Structure 1
Amino acid sequence: MWSFFRNRRRRRWLAVALPEPQLRILKQNVPAFNHLPPELQQRILDCVRILIAERRWEGCDGLEVSAEMKTTIAGHAAFILLRSGDYYFDGVTTILVYPDVMVRNHDGVLEHTVGEAWDNGGVILSWPEVLLAADHDDGRNVVIHEFAHHLDGLDGEMGGSISFAHSADQTAWNEIAGQEFQQLVHDVDAGRRTLLDPYGATNEAEFFAVASECFFERPRPMQNRHPELFGLLKKYYRIDPTDWQ
Structure 2
Amino acid sequence: MYILFAFLLIILIGFFLLRKKKNEIESDETNIETYRSLLNDRVDYYQKLNEQEKLRFEKCVLDFLQYVNIEGVGTTITDSDRVLIASSAIITVFGFGDWKYKNLTNVILYPDTFDNDFSFEGENRNILGMVGSGFMNGQMLLARAALEKGFSSLSGKGNTAIHEFVHLLDKSDGATDGIIENLITREYVIPWLKMMHKEMHRIQTGKSDINPYALTSEAEFLAVAAEYFFEKPEQLKHKHPEIYEQLCNLFRQDPA
Which category describes the TM-score, using the shorter chain as reference length? 0.7 to 0.9
**Deviations, residues 7-48 of structure 1 (Å, cap 9, x unaligned):** xx9xx87x9444322221122221331121123212211221
User: Which residue in 2 is equivalent to 1:90?
Assistant: 102
Q: Provide TM-score, normalisation by structure 1.
A: 0.83
Name the aligned partner's letter for residue 50 of structure 1: D
Alignment of 1:43-122 (within 5 A): 43-60=56-73, 62-104=74-116, 110-119=124-133, 120-122=137-139
Matched with 1:170 is 189
Q: Structure 2 counterpart of 1:149, which letter? A: H
Deviation at 1:143, TM superposition (A): 1.1
Provide structure 2 residue ranges, at least 5 long, that are not aligned to the other structure. 1-20
Shift of 1:105: 5.7
Partner of 2:151: 134
Contact 1:97 1:126 in 2 (8 A): yes
RMSD: 2.4
Per chain length, whose mean CA-contact separation is higher, i.e. which structure has more relative contact order (CA < 8 Å, sep 6+)? 1
Contact map agreement 2:104 2:139 (CA 8 A) in 1: yes
* 1:73-122 CA-partner distances (Å, limit 9, x unpaired): 1112211121112212222111010001112369xx93511110123221
3-state SS of paired residue (1:83) = helix
Q: Which runs of 5+ in 1 are unaligned?
A: 1-8
Stretch moving more, 168-177 or 135-144: 135-144
Contact 2:88-2:165 at 8 Å conserved across structures = no
1:38 alignment counterpart: 51
Contact 1:115/1:125 (8 A) holds in 2: yes
* Identity %, equivalent residues: 26
Aligned length: 224
Hey, which of these two has a bigger chunk of strand by percent?
1
Give SS of 1:116's match. strand
- Structure 1 partner of 2:142: 125
Alpha-carbon distance between aligned partners in 1 of 2:203 and 2:226, rounded to the nearest angstrom: 15
Alignment correspondent of 1:221: 235
3-state SS of paired residue (2:34): helix
